[in-house]
Chains A and B, each alone.
Chain A
Amino acid sequence: MNSTRAKPCPLLHLDNVTIRFGGLTAVSSVSASLGDNELTGLIGPNGAGKTTVFNMITGVYAPTEGAIHFQNKSVTGLKPFAITERGIARTFQNIRLFSSLSVFDNVRVAFHLHVTQNTAHSLTRGPKFRAEERDITDQTRALLDIFQLTRVQDEPAKSLPYGDQRRLEIVRALATRPKLLLLDEPAAGMNPAEKVELMKLIRFIREKFQLSILLVEHDMKVVMGICERIHVLEYGRKIAEGTPAEIRQHPAVVAAYLGKEITH
């Protein structure tokens, strides 16, 4: 039941994406589409190729075959920074903050995509430059406010507790104003209570910022709990796609996760 729903204008479209490392085919002709304002999950057993797909979308690896389109334009083989410029932001499985910078600057850095200033403006510091810098500062403050990080804004990022670091990384990604947010195992290392908080947070972000979210996640409870559509990978191939209810019943998925709990 490989139902690739034909959508009129998907936000992100993977078209038969394949990647080989030496002789090993890590991901084999995976196709998938993501719509606007959708919350999608990408799941699969360990080593199924989830993170590799994630890394191809974000430009860390270029696919050996196939194409990736974002907003109807090819982003295949672009560098990570160019992908982010196009409107895809990400977080990292093992949090990568700018650990020595303050919480405030971690977020403020991300606004560089939306400024008009250049090197000469930084030197002359005219009224327009200063207005823009003030504007960035205000927007950073507002963003930190929304996520209750204001009280720690001057702390170096590395001094935050784990949960706050995860949150800060998401806030930083949001500051690039993405249309698609990719979260790489956001629930890793969280206790059940924190996971519930995280699910709330993800839903909140989608509503507040009107964007699509793609979640790569191990934790079934989280994925089943919030995603509207789920793609399942196994051994580098896509074995299923559907709503959480469909996925739960799907024979191939049940076989792949045999002996594991996929319902909650």
Chain B
Amino acid sequence: MLPRSQIVLLISLITAGIISASSSRIDDYILDVILGIGINIILAVSLNLINGFTGQFSLGHAGFMAVGAYAAGTLTTGPGKVWFDASGASPALLFPFVLFAGGLTAAVVGLAVGAPSLRLKGDYLAIVTLGFGEIIKVILQNIEWLGGSRGMVGIPSYTSFFWCFGAAAVTIYAAWALVNSTLGRGFLAVADDEIAAEAMGLNTTRYKIIAFVTGAFFAGIAGGLYAHLKGYISPAGFDFNKSIEIVVMVILGGMGRHVGVVIAVVLLTVLSEKLRDFGDKRMIVYSALLILLMLTRPQGLFTWKPARKAITG
């Protein structure tokens, strides 16, 4: 007998498959927005693992998304295309492996960035991740075979409703499963009081790295989905503003809450579509909202329960 959480996951995957099969009947623009929501859910839920549950402030999530997008794009469009085509397997079958490779690359980069900076207390992680986001951009702009600053074009659109929301469901499940385990209670303890956590025998650096690398992995998956949804990626598309957008979703949803974050993602993605006509005014509203939120409801919009109850299973 599977635990209830896995049954829910299975049902979600089947539902995603059924909707996907009839997704041709959905209006193209609306489908595009919906798939965008799916990708943002993956980004926000994975960042929530780092920012919300483990209390480490990362400002470079778009950077990991970029790594995943470029790694996946390299396989289907860039130099990796040779093997991709030679394998003879159908793209639909290979796509999950492409996404996984993107996630894995992002996770490795996450380890390289996180290992030195997570040993330090304070705001250093924010600055290092911010700097990392900029470095990634500069490096990508300088790699000619990845398209340089022009970006990578002609990426096939493999991202279907199923892959998008299947991946989102897996991300939510994984975040939930990690948090609701002995390991995840370690995350919460680190976020709450690092000194007390050390005194309980928790190797706080290790916990922070696990959360950070897991978050980077799923951001990489989101990047791969994004690349194969838009068909075009460029270094400038994964800038600081994208990272901030994800941070705002997490804060609005209430750091350390799964459901709130998902609601916030839907709300903000739709809102930002509606505000699209306003151009740069959109970001004014966005930033004003962020300040107002921190001043009035720092615990997020969708937070009611003061503390977590004991959950098992």
Contacts and interface: CB of A to CB of B under 8 A. Distances in A.
A109 interface: yes
Interface in A83-131: 84-85, 89-90, 92, 96-102, 104-105, 108-113, 115, 117-119, 121-123, 125, 129-130
| Dominant secondary structure at the A interface | helix
Contact of B182 (A85, A89, A111, A173): A111
Interface residues of B, number: 36
Contacts of A111: 182
A116 to B, nearest CB: 10
Interface string B182-211: 111110110011011111111110000010
B182 A101 contact: no
A133 B312 contact: yes
Contacts of A101: 185, 188-189, 192, 307-308
A176 B200 contact: yes
B210 A96 contact: no
A3 to B, nearest CB: 32
A105 B196 contact: no
Contacts of A80: 195, 198-199
Interface string B159-191: 000000000000000100110111111101100
A40 to B, nearest CB: 20
Interface in B198-231: 198-204, 210, 214
B200 A109 contact: yes
Nearest to A114: B182
Contact of A134 (B177, B184, B188, B312): B312
Contacts of B241: none
B310 A122 contact: no
B174 A84 contact: no
B309 interface: yes
A84 B307 CA distance: 27
A119 B210 CA distance: 8
Given A122-B183, A123-B174, A133-B181, A81 B204 contact: yes
21 contacts: A58-B199, A80-B198, A81-B199, A81-B202, A84-B201, A96-B196, A99-B192, A100-B192, A101-B188, A101-B308, A102-B307, A102-B309, A108-B185, A109-B200, A110-B200, A119-B214, A121-B181, A122-B177, A130-B3, A133-B181, A136-B182
